[in-house]
């Protein structure tokens, strides 16, 4: 009986030692990531900081793709400006002059045209030349700013209207609001159509050279 009791105590001691060793090994394995962690010993990963939302519905900074570091010959593609409908940039600088491609009233990422009303068959019922003219000028300002120019730097304007008789007077009044103090030269031409169903398009040139003494 004594021998059996002694064996039993020995066996209990070995079992306890074995459990202690297994527990230590388990801790080591957990520490080096060899076994899954339990809810108690799970280490929480730091949460990634989320970007702050733009305050006051501010527009994101425009991305300007500039194709050259040579200030006398640069090509500008502006992320917020209407997408070109062909293989051309929004603007190109040559020497002291900045040339803008034709600018219409469309908004970036949309085929909708400000002031245009269509029926269910997508046919234009009417359009607002004032809304389109103001939108064109807003787009021009955006491209000029992205290219490092000001609206007052414009020296020449070409305007294309699809209906001179109907739209000229109203267009001309809106134009004067923005250009009266600039006194850029201007040519206004009637065209049969423009690449997209818009009623007006501007083509402008800005001068970026130094002022004469």
pLDDT in tens, 91-128: 999 999 999 999 999 888 777 777 777 777 777 777 89
pLDDT in tens, 124-169: 777 899 999 999 999 999 999 999 999 999 999 999 999 999 999 9
Give 115 or 196, the one with higher predicted confidence: 196
Please write down the long-range contacts of 126-129, taking CB distance under 8 Å and 24 or more positions apart: 127/199, 129/166, 129/167, 129/170, 129/171, 129/199, 129/200
Quick check: 161 and 200 in contact, CB under 8 A? yes
3-class state of residue 112 by DSSP:
coil
Q: Determine if residue 36 is left, alpha or beta; phi over 0 gives left, psi from -120 to 50 gives alpha, anything else beta.
A: beta
Give the length of the chain.
Answer: 213
Quote the pTM value.
0.65
Beta bridge mates, 127: 116
Quick check: 137 and 201 in contact, CB under 8 A? no
- CB 63: neighbour CB atoms within 10 A? 10
The runs of H, that is alpha helices, within the chain are 2-32, 129-146, 164-179
pLDDT in tens, 21-59: 555 555 444 444 444 444 444 444 444 444 344 334 434
Is a pLDDT exceeding 50 seen at residue 86?
yes
- CB 60: neighbour CB atoms within 10 A? 8
């Amino acid at each position: 009986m004594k021998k059996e009791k002694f064996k039993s105590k020995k066996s209990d001691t070995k079992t306890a030692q074995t459990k202690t060793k297994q527990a230590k090994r388990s801790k080591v394995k957990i520490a080096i990531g060899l076994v899954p962690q339990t809810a108690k010993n799970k280490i929480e990963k730091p949460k990634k900081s989320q970007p702050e939302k733009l305050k006051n519905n501010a527009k994101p900074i425009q991305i300007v793709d500039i194709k050259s570091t040579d200030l006398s010959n640069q090509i500008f593609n502006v992320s917020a400006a209407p997408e070109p409908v062909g293989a051309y940039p929004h603007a190109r600088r040559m020497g002291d002059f900045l040339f803008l491609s034709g600018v219409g009233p469309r908004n970036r990422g949309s085929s909708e045209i400000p002031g245009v009303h269509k029926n269910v068959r997508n046919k234009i019922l009417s359009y607002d030349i004032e809304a389109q003219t103001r939108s064109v000028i807003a787009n021009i300002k955006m491209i000029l700013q992205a290219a490092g120019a000001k609206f007052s730097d414009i020296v020449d304007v070409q305007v294309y209207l699809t209906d001179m008789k109907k739209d000229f007077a109203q267009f001309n009044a809106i134009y004067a609001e923005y250009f009266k103090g600039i006194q850029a030269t201007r040519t206004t031409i009637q065209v049969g159509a423009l690449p997209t169903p818009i009623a007006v398009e501007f083509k402008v040139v800005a001068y970026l050279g130094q002022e004469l003494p």
